[in-house]
Amino acid sequence: MIQTTEIIETLSFFDCWEDRYRYMIELGKELPAMDNDLKTQDKLVPGCQSRVWIDWKNINGLLHFEVDSDALIVKGLLALVMAAYQDKSANDIIEFDIQNYFEQLDLIKHLSPTRGNGLQAMIGKIQGAARQMLD
């Protein structure tokens, strides 16, 4: 799995956002396929313009996610998020400064308001899973 630092470094090499979007889409294409049986209503993320599914399980104290979307750019956003959260402890997920990560990527101002809201909804679902694991 690609790391956040590698993504930050790679995106900094691109001069225009069109190239950054292409890179993000390529990252999304590299996400493992989500089993269609997992794409159920309870795994859909409310508040997303596109359909986004997030499933998680606890594997030896680490949260492992399976994710998918019906939109390529959103899969790219999911790849950015998974770089931060995949196979981390619940505490690591809650303590990770995701907004600072997005600032380093210069991401939020380049998303439409609805995409930005959807991204925050994805983060909320993942952080909710982490809080649930701690309970």
CATH number at residue 128: 3.90.1010.10
Residue 60: the pLDDT is 97
pLDDT of residue 73: 94
Question: Residue 47 above 90 pLDDT?
Answer: no
Q: How many residues does the chain have?
A: 135
pLDDT for res 2: 87
Count Cβ neighbours within 10 Å for each residue of 38-63 and write b for 16 or more, e otherwise: eeeeebebeebebebbbbbeeeeeeb
Residue 34 CA to chain centroid, in angstroms? 14
Full residue range of the structural domain in which residue 119 is found: 4-134
- Tell me what pLDDT residue 27 has: 97
Structural domains of the chain, count:
1
Q: Which residues are catalytic?
A: 48
